[in-house]
Structure 1
Amino acid sequence: DVAIKKSKELNFVNVYNDHVAQHSSTTCRREVVHHQFKRYPSEKCKNKRMRSFLNFGELEFLVGFDVETLKLLRVLDLGRLRFPLKINGDLIHLRYLGIDGYSFSDRAAIISKLRFLQTLEAYSEYPIEETIDLRKLTSLRHVIGQFVGELLIGDAANLQTLRFISSDSWNKLKPELLINLRDLEIYQDYEKRRVSVSWASLTKLRSLRVLKLDNLRLESEEAVRSTDVISPSLESVTLVGMTFEEDPMPVLQKMPRLEDLILEGCFYPGGKMSVSEQGFGRLRKLQLVMESLDELQIEEEAMP
């Protein structure tokens, strides 16, 4: 309550809700709109001092929303709003952009002008199939979206997060350039032919901490050896819909920094998995949702 009271006194943020009387001025630098964008006063959209704008609500179609005049914007999260987006290269302060992934190709050319952008998040119920060119955005740190088409990200030396990229798109990247990548999620696009990930590509991600592989084709022997190589930095591993020909525990338990392990919807015909002495030295969370797993044997002094 004290924080809310103080923020109102300082005019720190204005939360627009049509059911609540609005008292903040039109010069507030931070605006949040909840489910009422069509009733949001148009004069507020022209506030040239605005630094942050966030929209929360259901899918809405609009004629337009001019953000070109908001040259001091640092955070722009449009949520599920869909409209012709107009952005020019003058938004040099913009660091975060959250937009609906619908018709992403129409916006990709505009986004490529935001050369100082650090976070790009595309909300979408459907995969983004177009080729997305982000090579000019050398400051990008976080890219989140359901990318099926080719993703061009250049040297990407600063990239730390890459989520929801299809296996086909991943195989077209140059992982040796992703020297600071920490969070990676690769999935299999069911509408396209099944593509195996090049496991050798994962061995080059020396800074990787969080890895999720969703329904990828897993060639057990090669995958197990590669997992052992990329293990030094990994703290969280999630494998979904995988098929193991061999018990994966002997390799997974050797990861020195692993804290979270989730095997969901995976299949192992052996029926029994074993964790040996001193295995999983730092594990805090173990979640197994597997078919045909009858027994998990854990030796004494395992998971200390």
Structure 2
Amino acid sequence: MAIALASAAVTAALAACSSQPAEEPEQAPAPLVEKVLDVPGFADFLTVDGDTVWATNDGRVEQWGVDGKIAATEMPRPCGTMALAADSLWVANCPDANLYRISTKDAKVQTIIETGIANPKGETNVVAGAGSIWVPSDAKGVISRIDPATDKVITTVEVDPGTFYLSYGLGALWAVSSDEQSLQKIDPASNAVVGKVALGKQPGFLTAGEGAVWVQEQGDGTVARVDPETMEVSGRVPVGENLIYGDIDTGGGSVWLRTTDDQVFAIIDPETMEVSERLGEAAGSGAIRYTPAGIWTSAHDNHTLSFWSRETAAEE
């Protein structure tokens, strides 16, 4: 009798299991579909402003949406990545080594601040963080900190010579010197370098997000992941033979890398440290910026901006 009852229990358990719905396999995300905008001139560096983007161009900065150009502001030669803060766009002007403050409401120049520009060739970053605007202002190794309430340089930070590349995130300002092959961590409370780590060949653009600082090692074709607390290189992702110029950003659980060779951009999984996707045909150098709705890229040699959207893909 006990054996019969046990057998019946097993049969019932198996029947219950078989009645449970099988788990459906996880669906892959919809592919990113590119919408191309023709942009005369030399559209290059990008800064996201809501559902629009600002781009540097020949003798002007321009605001674009997915349906076309919205506004433009003339200036001698905008250069490098721009910052968005205090209802203003902050743009380095290379030939005159100063900083333009432009209203995002009417695209008019509000003021011009004499800061100096560390790299007049234009590969540089202006960034916002800790209530301030940060500008690499002298190739000897100086970053200037501007208060947007007064439009004045309130202090300077001594850094490695040749520090041109900046990013703000994870509670600190991060600065790369390509010449010294270094990443420096700057504490905004003390305005001082509080950590440093050696990098590979020709480090360049960087981004702080997804739990780490990510730096293009342009001469090695790799992206270095740096632990923001220990200041150690905790991994490297090989992408191609080189990563000369291009751009990098984080968001939505990924690292977004604008490349020059092989593809328009690559997507890096920060957990597996592998390239998960490569999109587009190689289109020369340009910039990349993540938004929750999609990805903006520029291709100045092709005179285009592109918006890559999974929503567009789903609709089609």
TM norm structure 1: 0.26
Relative contact order, higher structure (CA 8 A, sep 6+) = 2
TM norm structure 2: 0.25
